[in-house]
Amino acid sequence: MAEKQNYETIKIERKDGITWVILNRPEKRNAMSPQMHMEMDQALDDLAVDPATRVLVLTGAGKAFCAGQDIALFFRGTEDDPAARFRARRASNQWRWQKLSTFPKATIAMVNGFCFGGGFTQVCACDFAIAADDTVFGLSEVNWGILPGGIVGWNVTQTLNYRDALYYALTGDTFDGKKAQEIGFVNFSVPRAKLRAATIALANKMMAKNPAAVRYTKEAIRAVRFMNEPQAHDYLIAKGDALRFNDKEKGREAGMRQFLDDKTYKPGLGEFKRRKPA
């Protein structure tokens, strides 16, 4: 399992159903090196099938969330080794978007400090994002003659409205956690002293949900963004049928029985009583 790996650039901690995945290069503001990409790629594979992981929280060690790619190691360090650059780029895209955005449990980005450039991608990939009010965000690539490459340029257009995405990509201006909430880049911005508690509260809320319903709902909402109405209609019907078939808790039947027969549950006003699968 992931906790048995001898990671050097990340840390994994578990407590009460929450798995904390910590980018751990605080001396570099958690800038992403090729080694970090390889380790995160492996860790997400392990945690995806780990029954002890009910919610995943991604955060950074020290005073930064992630300063983007490590320019010296990720770019210059692979210039003369095309194979190493290919492996680093592949692992980078796989964990930060493909694996994180399709992770089968709820995911939360706890943005605890500086978040720049490539660090935006994993914020976009997580289901939820909570930032400290004094967090500094920035797409600074334009300031040194490049563009937001990899997948980050696409990510921000899917998370922000077009005007905001273009403004911050073209100007390189920074913004804080409160502004990030205002423009929809994060769900909440809270005082730094309350950041961890707010993250745990959201994680606990998600752990109270039917895990199959969480998984299928997040898959469905992500997928239909890129469909037209007829495609989305058919897909959602099929997805609902798949959820009903694969839900070991039989949540649909339990919820309907408690609402219609037992009169113990009112949809929209709380959780129905879940039963553990046999």
- Give the residue extent of every domain in the chain: 2-207, 211-261
Percent of the chain at pLDDT exceeding 70: 92
Picking from 218, 211, 214, the residue whose alpha carbon sits closest to that of residue 248 is: 211
Query: Does 92 score more than 50 pLDDT?
Result: yes
Chain-centre distance for alpha carbon 54: 14
Q: In this structure, which topology does domain 2-207 adopt according to CATH?
A: 2-enoyl-CoA Hydratase; Chain A, domain 1 (3.90.226)
Lowest pLDDT segment from 58-62, 81-85, 194-198, 217-221: 81-85
The pTM of the full predicted model, rounded to 2 decimals, is: 0.92
Query: Does 70 score more than 80 pLDDT?
Result: yes
Dihedral over Cα of 115, 119, 122, 123: its sign = positive
Reported confidence tier of residue 278, pLDDT bands at 50, 70, 90: low
Alpha-carbon distance 217 to 211, whole Å? 10
Position 277 scores a pLDDT of: 58
Average pLDDT over residues 130-137: 99
Position 96 scores a pLDDT of: 96
Hey, which of 81-85, 250-254, 256-260 has the most confident mean pLDDT? 81-85
Reported confidence tier of residue 255, pLDDT bands at 50, 70, 90: low
Rounded to whole angstroms, the maximal C-alpha distance in the chain is 69
Alpha-carbon distance 147 to 138, whole Å? 13
Reported confidence tier of residue 1, pLDDT bands at 50, 70, 90: very low
